[in-house]
Amino acid sequence: MNSRIVLFIILILATFLRVYKLDERGPFTDEKFTLLNANGFWVGAANQEEITSKTYFTPADFWTSKGINDYFEAIAHSDFGTHIIYNGVIHVWMTVFGNSDFAIRLLSVLFNLLMLFVVYRLVKRVFKSEVPALISVFLLALEPLNIAQSHIARSYTLSFLLVILATDIFLRLLDFRTKRKTLLFFLYAALIGASLLNHYLNFLVPLSHAIVFLFARKDKKLWTGFISAGVFSCVLMWWWFTSGGGHLSMSFLKDKNEKHLAMAQMKDNPLGSAIQLSSPEVVIKKTISLFLDSNTLTNGIYQNFNGVKNMLISLFFALVLGFSFIFYEKNKKQVAFSFMFLAFSLLVYFNTLAFSFLITSVFYYALYFGFKYVIKNLNFKEPVIKTSLVFVCLLMLFLPIFFVIYDAFKNGHTTSLTHRYIGVASPFVAILIAFGLSELLVANKRAFVFISIVFLLQIPNLVRVIGDFYKDRSNNYAFFVPERIKNPYKRIAENLEKVYAKGDTVLIPSFNGDVYSTTFGLKNTVTYTDAQYLNLYLPKDSKIIERVDPSEPNKFFIKKENGDKVLLADLEGLKFRY
């Protein structure tokens, strides 16, 4: 089949998985923060005196335009100074397409689909083959984290795109045939700078580039360019952390980590298994889960293993099976059949894990061929670009995991051991596995049958993991009980526009019951978050009269001129506040 047709089919599949149920669930906390911050509003309305200084206000008051400092301070006080590039883009996007749940999430979908196409072009150019390029895109099309992040109005899919584009430029700069390198260095510095401002954890990508460059090139002409790009990034981040929107980042993270540590130490931990004390046992289990879930091929497998022991047995099985293939190719069939018998015995004995053992074995083989290729070519003679890409991908498989392990032990809790914090590695891991599988096929064409069977065996795991996300029951990507309904604030706003009459007053609840306030006994006289979230969906020139009712935590009312109150909605504590 023509490779373009295959690519088209994969992209159609990827689009469906990302658009399906895109606006089925109301936005959760992080998305609401995005909507406020992208308009220059602090969460809690501290910079919206137009509504907080009055007893009565209108949507027109809420939508009073803000200056650039408001945008910086908004993320400084609610998102520890990250996401500013994405917030700027989505601000323009909402100006053009509106802020419906579908519209704001569609931007994440488009960034992710564009990233898939960039990966295809990059892998095809570097490896000079359609096979690893198509495998890479196929793996990413089905990758649960990328599907989940495409359903969220947040900066992560833009990060994935920026770091892949920066890696493409990085590899072009290493290529001695590349012309106009000065222009490319400016572009590289801009992409790296934008990715760092978009999210701090993206620093792991330029770090991997730096490590590879130290191995790959001794060309003095390149040193000047890369050092200049590094200096630019450092100066940019220094300005951001001292004068820009990141000036509160360290204190924000310090306070957050102290709260999470206190929660982890509680007997009745309100955040359950998401935040635990960082004991070696807990960290090892969570790390192995992250490692296996970092790619499509083994996503969901750790849930089948249900422990470290079975994961180690799967590694032993892969070695035994691998030796049987090696000895068979060397025509030492008696030895090969002995290893095959041992492998078969393991499958029979651990029959409930047989499929999982076969699946993880292919993953291990893909990693083996990646390691083997880099070690063989560490002298970085030609092909420099191919070796560099595989090396970057190997580093990006491990660096994010090492970082979150370090963070977990440093802070004493496991907040960082979560999938989205290693998500920036996902395109690189997909490329690495695609390369390893293509090398396995080169070594033995008959491996195609084995790989195909393993992909089929993995489908039930992927269906379960992706299906859990669509049901709002994913421990890794979005777990809500009960599952979220469509956006309650938008529904209230639409109903309000229909029933509101001149002389009415909308009474908005003041809710203090989020998990942090409840856990640490933080009380405010009046809170404006419900007022902020409601007004996001009302016309910017609306003159509807509103008032926050400090005595009512959950219910929206319309108060008529004669004093009667008509119930608009009841958010029932955290039930509909996501």
Q: What is the 3-state secondary structure (H, E, C) of 157-215?
A: HHHHHHHHHHHHHHHHHHCCCCCCHHHHHHHHHHHHHHHHHHCHHHHHHHHHHHHHHHH
Alpha carbon distance 172, 537 (integer Å): 45
Q: Which residues pair with 478 in a beta bridge?
A: 474
Q: Does position 518 have pLDDT exceeding 70, yes or no?
A: no
Dmax (CA) of the chain: 95
Mean pLDDT of 98-107: 97
Contact in structure between 400 and 365 (CB atoms under 8 Å):
no
Work out the pLDDT band at 329, boundaries 50, 70, 90: confident
Rounded to an integer, the average pLDDT of 170-199 is: 92
Residue 504 above 70 pLDDT? yes
pTM here is 0.94
Q: Minimal CA–CA distance to 554: which of 489, 496, 510?
A: 510
Q: What would the pLDDT profile of 270-297 be if each residue is shown by its tens digit?
A: 777 778 999 999 999 999 999 999 999 9
- For 100, left (φ over 0), alpha (ψ -120 to 50), or beta? beta
Residue 521, pLDDT score = 64
pLDDT of residue 352 exceeding 80: yes
Cis (ω within 30 of 0) for the bond into 206? no
Residue 103 pLDDT:
97
pLDDT in tens, 367-377: 999 999 999 99
Contact between residue 288 and residue 401 where contact means Cβ atoms under 8 Å apart: no
> What per-residue confidence (pLDDT) applies to 523?
64
Range with lowest mean pLDDT among 14-18, 122-126, 326-330, 408-412: 326-330
Question: Residue 181 — pLDDT band, cuts 50, 70, 90?
Answer: confident
Segment (H or E) for 153: none
Q: Is the pLDDT reported for residue 238 higher than 90?
A: yes
Confidence of residue 219 (pLDDT cuts 50, 70, 90): confident
On whether the CB atoms of residues 175 and 385 are closer than 8 A, the answer is yes
Tell me the percentage of the chain whose pLDDT exceeds 70.
Answer: 98
Helices 280-293/384-411 angle, 10° precision: 150
503: its two tokens: 């002389």
What confidence category does residue 445 fall into, taking pLDDT thresholds of 50, 70 and 90? Answer: confident
Mean local confidence (pLDDT), 389-403: 97
- Rounded CA gap, 386 and 390, in Å? 6
Give mean pLDDT, residues 52-69. Answer: 96
One-letter amino acid at 415 equals: T
Residue 403 has pLDDT above 70, yes or no: yes
Strand 565-570's sheet: what is its strand order? Answer: 546-549, 505-509, 555-559, 565-570
| Residue that has been written with the tokens 């008696």 in this structure | 334
Tell me the mean pLDDT in the region 80-98. Answer: 96
Q: What share of the chain is helix, strand, coil (3-state, %, to 5)?
A: 65, 5, 30
Q: Residue 520: what pLDDT?
A: 66
Q: pLDDT by residue (tens digit) across 449-490? A: 999 999 999 999 999 999 999 999 998 998 898 999 999 999
Cα 74 to Cα 65: distance, rounded to the nearest angstrom: 13
- Per-residue confidence at 517, pLDDT binned at 50, 70, 90? low
434, pLDDT greater than 90: yes
Which of these, 513, 517, 511, 516, lies nearest to 534 by C-alpha position?
511
**Res. 12 pLDDT band, cuts 50 70 90:** very high
The confidence score (pLDDT) of residue 380 equals: 78
Average pLDDT over residues 403-416: 95
Radius of gyration of the chain (CA): 26
Question: What is the pLDDT, as a whole number, of residue 444?
Answer: 86
* Average pLDDT of the chain to the nearest whole number: 94
